[in-house]
Amino acid sequence: MSRSRQSAEAFGRWAERLAQLWLIMKGYQLLGYRAVTAAGEIDLIARRGEYLAFVEVKARPDIEQARSSLSFRQRSRIERAASLWLARNPRFSDHFMRYDLFLVAPWRWPRHERAAWLPDDRARDLL
């Protein structure tokens, strides 16, 4: 692995730890970290009240790059992984699901964007 790739990987892991701390301080209960399903990995799964948040952490040189780095394909993968996770954890089936983004850039306050996107099927229903 190249040195720049190692550095990017370390920055990403640090961002995930920061997101965990941030969510805990906001009153979330962490249910999963790097949760693996057959569809892929979910960075963080957190619960607060009746909401269950599947959180994707993005660390880039600036916040806008972090926000725009989440592709349609990644969103779809996260949605499938969340469905599989929920099927394995039915005790959370009565919670409202949402997909959050946690954006990190050097020397900037991180941003937690709640309900950053709607699942594809719900987005089609709104059109």
Place of tokens 């600036």: 62
Predicted confidence (pLDDT) per residue in 70-106, tens digit: 999 999 999 999 999 999 999 999 999 999 999 999 9
State the Cα–Cα distance between residues 52 and 93, nearest whole angstrom.
9
Helix H or strand E encompassing 104:
strand 96-104
Which amino acid makes up residue 121?
D
**Domains observed in the chain:** 3-126 (3.40.1350.10)
Task: Give me the pLDDT at residue 119, please.
Answer: 81
pLDDT of res. 124: 42
Region 98-120 average pLDDT: 93
Q: pLDDT-derived band of residue 121, with 50, 70 and 90 as boundaries?
A: low
CA trace torsion 116, 32, 59, 75 (10° rounding): -40
